[in-house]
Amino acid sequence: MPRPSVVRSLILSVLSLSCVAFVHAQDKPNTAVIPVPREGNWMQRHELINSRAKAGNIDLLFIGDSITQGWENAGKSVWEKFYGKRHAMNAGIGGDRTQHVLWRLDHGNIDGIKPKLIVLMIGTNNSNGMDNTAEEIGAGITAIVHKLREKLPESKILVLGVFPRGAGPSPQREKNAKASEIASKLADGKMVHYMDIGKKFLEPDGTTLSKEVMPDLLHLNEKSYTTWAEAIEPKVAELLGEK
């Protein structure tokens, strides 16, 4: 049988290792705020956005992930109807997370342009599994807004709450909702504004998301892009100085 001193030593060793592990976990960097690029076709899309920026004449800028990029596919006709005459630019890239947008903003996507309004919706890809917490995602969105304010001080920003995903309530939905709530605090009523239009995609019960609205319960179809455009239109017109 081990001597009491040996047992005490073992207990202290275990406690020490546990404390080290806890501190290490607490010190884990927030990947959502560390700018990084991606590989593959992503860089081609990034350079295509840079080319559009270099062409100039941009009053309205949309920034985001595949849901924003989808304006060029399922939402193409809706985009043309609402934004075709507004000198709009689509800076959405499928699969992007906050850290990728941060990198893009420092590598050409907004160089040389002065849009009147920026519509930002990002964060859902950060919420997969244990990749990022709601607080980390909120910090990522906050970092993007701060960078936009720094680089484009004359541009107004409309931050959108992350759209609902999945058939019904889930931890991932809750995470995105909490991250959006954090982002909502950025609104100052002057240069930064916030809207959460998520409920417009849900059934009357306020929780169910139908495949008739989002076929894969994440990405929008043409009808949903119309819902998006109509929901933000009054605010877009106001912030563009049209009304």
Q: Look-up: residue for tokens 């420092």?
A: 106
pLDDT digits (tens, 9 = 90+) for 219-239: 999 999 999 999 999 999 999
Tokens of 195: 């809207």
User: Catalytic pick from 59, 66, 87, 107?
Assistant: 66
Given its phi and psi angles, is residue 167 left (phi above 0), alpha (psi -120 to 50 degrees) or beta? alpha
CB 104 within 8 A of CB 49: yes
The residue among 140, 69, 50, 65 whose CA lies nearest residue 96 is: 65
Q: Look-up: residue for tokens 């930002």?
A: 120
User: Catalytic pick from 5, 24, 205, 216?
Assistant: 216
User: For residue 29, what are the contacts with CB-CB under 8 A and spacing of at least 6?
Assistant: none
How far apart are the C-alpha atoms of 193 and 107, rounded to whole Å? 25
Q: Look-up: residue for tokens 């985001």?
A: 64
First to last CA, the chain: 84
Per-residue confidence (pLDDT) for residue 27, from 0 to 100: 76
- Whether 216 is catalytic is yes
Per-residue confidence (pLDDT) for residue 230, from 0 to 100: 98
Q: pLDDT tier at 8 (50, 70, 90 boundaries)?
A: low
Q: Where are the domains of the chain?
A: 32-239
pLDDT digits (tens, 9 = 90+) for 97-133: 999 999 999 999 999 999 999 999 999 999 999 999 9
5-19, 125-139, 147-161, 193-207: least confidently modelled range: 5-19
pLDDT digits (tens, 9 = 90+) for 145-162: 999 999 999 999 999 999
Domain 32-239 falls in which CATH fold? Rossmann fold (3.40.50)
The residue among 143, 176, 132 whose CA lies nearest residue 30 is: 132
User: Catalytic pick from 46, 100, 193, 219?
Assistant: 219
The residue among 31, 24, 22 whose CA lies nearest residue 139 is: 31
pLDDT digits (tens, 9 = 90+) for 75-90: 999 999 999 999 999 9
